[in-house]
Structure 1
Amino acid sequence: MITINLKNRCSSKKSLALFMQTNITHLKELEQTRTGETYATAFNSFMRFTNGEDVSLSEMDSDMMVAYETYLKVNGVSMNTISFYMRILRAVYNRAVEQGITLQRYPFKHVYTGVCKTIKRALPLSVIKQIRLLELPPNSTLDYVRDMFLFSFYTRGMSFVDMAYLHKEDLSEGILSYKRKKTGQLLHIRWERCMENIVKKYSWNHTVYLLPILKDNGVDERRQYKNAITLMNRRLKDIGRMVGLTHPLTMHCARHSWASVAKHKRIPLSVISESMGHDSEGTTMIYLSSLDTAVIDEANKQVLKELF
């Protein structure tokens, strides 16, 4: 449930809080729950800056946003997170301008809205092997977390949200088919023994889902997912320390690592892009309509062969 905490709301229709809530409600109606949650996160951060006091859209000027940026920096917020918050607030502000609710005063012209280069998340295959061969207590949380990480790697870097919502019926005649939550693209993956071994390990899972991530059918699946990804990334940090990583191990690392290993194996960029279900961006994807799935499956087979 999305909550916005305020001491006082502006009574005017030009209230930032009221306009933000309207946008969040609209996103929920469009079933864009995750986007709505990011809007609420950004807004709650801004309200901590104002000590819970609502502001009117007309009060949002360059000085206020520069002060907010300074507040975030002082509190140790990364530049990418600062940019994330600013871009959300800017999108909402610009929407208010379009609707004639406030005048365009360009309040975000002096704050950071770019993207900084982050630490590389890709791991060399040797580290993936270390993770696979770690001696962990059987049936422990760490063992489960390691399995989910490896399943992502085995399935060409499948994102955790897509893994969570896989249904058993998505696996048919040796092909795992699913639509990416992020792009809606339909992907097909040839089922390999390493994937089957993980699913069999959790044969006690009697839900409609292929993996034991969402463990209660139809019970607030969004909350189950958020709890699961929080657990994953917290315990993956422990696994990362076990193999000597100096930066946090996350589920995103599995996705980045598969792409890196595939590139090292000299698999064409176009094949990697199609394999991972990337959006049609760049020259490669302009002419790439749909590769033969056998080519993609062979690419994944090469990566897994190297691992085992």
Structure 2
Amino acid sequence: MSVLFIKINNFMCNNSFFSFMNEQKELLLQNGQFKTAVSYSCTLNSFFNFRRGKDLGIEEVTSELIQSYQSWLKQRGVVANTSSFYMRVLRAVYNKAVKKNLTVQQRPFEEVYTGIDKTQKRALTIEALRLLRNLDLSHKKKLAYARDLFMFSFYTRGMAFVDMAHLCKENIKEGTITYHRKKTGQKLVIGLESCMAEIIERYSSFTKDSDYVLPILHSDNPRNIQVQYYNALRYQNIQLKKIEKLLDIPHLHLTTYVPRHAWASIARENGVSLSVISEGMGHTSEKTTRIYLASLSQVVMDEANHKVLSSI
């Protein structure tokens, strides 16, 4: 099981903050709140490293300590939004401890940043996407796999990583990929292009005994599936950061969300209408568009996707 879900035991001090946070994480897992549990685990690991493994009592979580943690994060190049994310998680845990009367409220998070900065989203240019696709990773199998998942997402009109992970072989029939978005439940149908089929075939030996198309998940146990998914998502983003360094393109920022944004941007650059892009990506927030437009035909969808893929 991944380090994200490692249990932290044998704390020496009384009223241990680490123990309490770990208990809260375990409760989240038991309640099926896997995404929040991952957030707790990531934050706990970071704070644990800041403390160099030295435990502390809940009452020792002071304003001075939290400000010192914020400075420590900044010195290590952690961006403001990530630092703020850790602070908000720690604050939530601390407030739970206060409610349980494990400590008195000292408001230790008032002097640190807990907001959310707006970040400029940079889609990949066609040139950068070509460099990524053609990058020689023949001796770096893990990075090649991460690149294949990235490109598969782009090829499939920005299929979300969660939908790629849960994509089953039964979803592919008669030259089409048909699936329902996990986020919205909306049904999407994508024409199976050769570039998609090549990636699927490349990993077919890894999935021959599995129902899944891609070797991201390996279990039918609901809890294990969730744990595997969030570990795979985190690992994918780590590998993409390594690819960033190899490409050495200024301002390049690769994450699992970027293929979706890139497909939309390149589609727009190639003259695909906003309504087609919205329909093709399964957006449900384009309410005004949907009032005036009926569902677009599969032929239009496939033509739009073929046009985007041909541009690279």
Distance 2:8 2:90 in 1: 17
- Checking the alignment, whether the CA contact within 8 Å between 1:213 and 1:228 is kept in structure 2 is no
Q: TM-score by structure 2 length?
A: 0.75
Per the alignment, do residues 81 and 136 of structure 1 end up closer, same or farther by CA in structure 2, a change over 3 Å counting?
closer
Deviations 1:123-161 (A, max 9, x none): 112332444455665996565444322210022212333
Identity of aligned residues (%): 36
Per the alignment, do residues 102 and 184 of structure 1 end up closer, same or farther by CA in structure 2, a change over 3 Å counting?
farther
- Paired residue type of 1:40: S
Per mean C-alpha deviation after superposition, the further-off stretch among 160-169 and 127-136 is: 127-136
Distance 1:264 1:117 in 2: 24
Per mean C-alpha deviation after superposition, the further-off stretch among 87-96 and 245-254 is: 245-254
What is residue 20 of structure 1 aligned with on the other side? 21
Per the alignment, do residues 95 and 236 of structure 1 end up closer, same or farther by CA in structure 2, a change over 3 Å counting?
closer
Deviations 1:246-283 (A, max 9, x none): 33544333122113223435656676556545685xxx
What is residue 125 of structure 1 aligned with on the other side? 126
Per the alignment, do residues 112 and 250 of structure 1 end up closer, same or farther by CA in structure 2, a change over 3 Å counting?
same
Per the alignment, do residues 102 and 156 of structure 1 end up closer, same or farther by CA in structure 2, a change over 3 Å counting?
farther
Per the alignment, do residues 103 and 232 of structure 1 end up closer, same or farther by CA in structure 2, a change over 3 Å counting?
closer
What is residue 307 of structure 1 aligned with on the other side? 309
Tell me how many residue pairs correspond in the alignment.
299
What is residue 211 of structure 1 aligned with on the other side? 214
Unaligned runs of 5+ in 2: none
- Paired residue type of 2:231: K
What is residue 108 of structure 1 aligned with on the other side? 109
- Paired residue type of 1:11: N
Q: Secondary structure, in 3 states, of the residue corresponding to 2:296?
A: helix
Q: Does 1:96 align with 2:101?
A: no
- Checking the alignment, whether the CA contact within 8 Å between 2:165 and 2:216 is kept in structure 1 is yes
Q: Please provide the CA RMSD for this pair.
A: 3.9
Distance 1:297 1:109 in 2: 55
What is residue 47 of structure 1 aligned with on the other side? 48
- Equivalence map 1:181-260=2 (5 Å): 183=183, 185-194=185-194, 195-204=196-205, 205-206=207-208, 207-214=210-217, 216=218, 218=220, 222-223=227-228, 226=231, 230=235, 233-234=238-239, 237-238=242-243, 241-242=246-247, 245-246=249-250, 247=252, 249-260=254-265
Distance 1:79 1:157 in 2: 27
What is residue 6 of structure 2 aligned with on the other side? 3
Per the alignment, do residues 175 and 95 of structure 1 end up closer, same or farther by CA in structure 2, a change over 3 Å counting?
same
